[in-house]
Amino acid sequence: MLLAIDVGNTNTVFALCEGNAVKHSWRCQTNAMRTGDEYASWLSILFQIEDYKFSDVKDIVMSSVVPDANFNLKRLAKKYLHCDPIMVTIETVLPHIKVNIDNPQTAGADLLVNAVACDQHYNSEAILVDFGTATTLSVLTKSEGYSGGIIAPGVNLSLEALVSAAAKLPKVSIQKPPFVRGANTIHAMQSGIFWGYISMVEGLIQRLSEEIGHKPFVIATGGLASVFAPHIEAIKIVDVDLTLKGLIKIYTSEKEKL
């Protein structure tokens, strides 16, 4: 089986994959100080629950936007899973999709992997909206491939900044409030976060569409996609496994070279 690891700024996802299918996935908080031994003790329990063993893993593919976390994850791979992980780099991405930005080496691995998955599974010009640590909108066109996009503060980051900067504002859950106009502090904050981000994403999709010259297919992914996407008419599909699909495609291509 293949173990796909997606290291994000907030969470790290581990997924057991067979063929093109994601069989099981688990996530933990990204922590560059977590050792390979700590990962192994946590992951071994989750494997056992699903009746798997470390020896079932034959290969590993990893995408990371947190370089400081890579060393300990590679230690996990070598010491406990006896694999050298295939790392996502610009070189592993370019066989699948063009990267048309000023400096391709600086593109986030997660954005590129998502673009590969979109090109593979949807075969369409698209805007990819990722509701993660940052809220990102990536543009994918037939002529230019991945051609950049927009990076905005993520929903949780904005909420945390608001609460930390205003002494009397409480921390609230991210959810749709009963009305747009909040009749109390909690509902007013929820409306600002919920409808504020929906309005931002709608506006950015519209501006990108105008710049492209037409309305492309819009796909949402990321941890909060299921909360926001149903209220954004332009979003046509939510694919929470988009990054994992991209990792599987890159892995398959790299193995064929060996």
Catalytic residues: 110
Chain CA centroid to CA 188, Å: 29
Q: How far apart are CA 238 and CA 231, in angstroms?
A: 12
Main-chain dihedrals φ then ψ at residue 240, nearest 5 degrees? -75, -15
Residues 6+ apart with CB under 8 A from 181: 191
Cβ 16 vs Cβ 25: under 8 Å: yes
Query: 227-244 b/e with 16+ CB inside 10 Å = b?
Result: bbbeebebbeebbebbbb
Cβ 181 vs Cβ 191: under 8 Å: yes
Task: Tell me the sheet residues that pair with 134.
Answer: 153
Type and span of the H or E element at 134: strand 134-141
The DSSP call for residue 216 is -
Residues 6+ apart with CB under 8 A from 152: 134, 135, 136, 200, 204
User: Both tokens of residue 13?
Assistant: 């996802």
Sequence-distant contacts of 150-155: CB under 8 A, at least 24 apart: 150/204, 150/208, 152/200, 152/204, 155/131, 155/193, 155/197, 155/224, 155/228
